[in-house]
A = this chain, B = another copy of it.
Amino acid sequence: MRRPTLRDVADGAGVHPATASRALNPQTRHLVSPETADRVNRVARALGYRPNPVARSLKTSRSSSIGLIIPDLTNPLFPPIVRGVEDVLGPVGYNAWIANTDNDPAREEAAVESMRSRNVEGFVFATARLEHPLLEDLAAANTPVVLVNRRLAKPTVPSVTADDAAGISMALHHLVEEGHKRIVHLAGPQDLSTGVNRLRAFRQALHEHGLDENQTRIEVCRSWTEAAGAETLNKLLAEGADFTAILAGNDMLALGCYDVLAEHGLRCPEDVSVVGFNDAAFMDKLTPALTTVHSPQYELGAEAARMLLEELSEPRTHPRSVVLPVTFKVRGSTAPPRSP
């Protein structure tokens, strides 16, 4: 009842294990006569032979696996990305090993080391910071890596991201159209491309709409979390900041705003309009439903996986940066100011 090995198949087919190996392997099958190849495959099937990936990996230093580095699966932005990655990899015989890092560089490094020692063939990273020594190292070691959602300051590693600038521009445009003039931007951490790009885009969009930066307010949050959004808005409110709309850098910050507005008896959107970014799961179910920039989460993952597979088969010298288009979802969280 032992699991059959290649040896068993070879014996059953009356050939040497090396021949059995060649016969069973699509890439080397042509080295073997059609008859023996057939025979070996029949025996393998009859015995229920399954190659041992551990032995194969030890020999070849490969694994048919890639590492998928995620900050936190409980953030609803990431599961669809994971599914996108898996759905592209699965059909071509690869699988993804997932690690949560909690944005902790030490955990990240441990996860990467563990995966490398298991011969992963490449990585999809969703945790990139603008300056990211570990990623530089991997790039320097020619380990195939594709970034998803975030990228590096210098485009030295290929990436797939949503169009942050366009999204913010759409969002601001929408608020302005509705008559808002005093708009707050809750920016994300400035060590992340998403935080920086969205903030930059906000400033740019402000100018394009002829808005005075003095009427607006920009506040940088310490993380992309509900807690950070709440904290920052509380601070703003305590200072008596004057605004009619909040453009949150992502949905989690917007969620934090919802909480705080409710606590302060401020209605949304009657008193304050809120716009988010990402359109993560359930954001359309809030009350009021969150108006937000939709980023194609599943597609981000799928495209990152495709790029990684490409990289695996024909390494490029010149990293590609793919930017996927976003759309704007008008829902219930904005409206009022309709004045001149």
A positions within 8 Å CB-CB of B: 50-55, 57-58, 63, 73-74, 76, 79-80, 82-83, 86, 95, 97-98, 100, 113-114, 117-119, 255, 258, 281-282, 285-288
Contacts and interface: CB of A to CB of B under 8 A. Distances in A.
Contact of A118 (B53, B80, B113, B281): B53
Contact of A57 (B54, B86, B114): B54
B281 A54 contact: no
Contacts of A119: 54
A226 to B, nearest CB: 9
A54 B73 CA distance: 27
Given A54-B58, A73-B83, A74-B79, A255 B285 contact: yes
A99 to B, nearest CB: 8
B54 A83 contact: no
Centre residue among A51, A53, A80, A285 by max chain B CB count within 10 A? A285
A100 B83 contact: yes
Given A117-B52, A117-B53, A86 B100 contact: yes
A76 B77 CA distance: 11
A79 B73 contact: yes
A61 to B, nearest CB: 9
Contact of A281 (B55, B74, B80, B86): B74
A31 B294 CA distance: 61
Contacts of A282: 76, 281-282, 285-286
Given A285-B282, A287-B286, A80 B74 contact: yes
A58 B5 CA distance: 13
A159 B39 CA distance: 45
B287 A54 contact: no
Contacts of A73: 73, 79, 82-83
A67 to B, nearest CB: 12
Contacts of A53: 114, 117-118
A10 to B, nearest CB: 19
A288 B285 contact: no
Given A74-B281, A281-B282, 14 more contacts: A50-B113, A53-B114, A53-B117, A53-B118, A54-B57, A54-B58, A54-B117, A54-B119, A58-B58, A73-B79, A74-B79, A74-B80, A76-B281, A282-B282
A117 B5 CA distance: 12
8 contacts: A52-B117, A55-B58, A73-B73, A74-B76, A74-B79, A76-B282, A82-B100, A287-B287
Contacts of A258: 285
Contact of A79 (B79, B80, B83): B79
A118 B288 CA distance: 48
B117 A50 contact: yes
A86 B111 CA distance: 12
Contacts of A113: 50
A114 B95 contact: yes
A84 to B, nearest CB: 11
Contacts of A50: 113, 117
A115 to B, nearest CB: 10
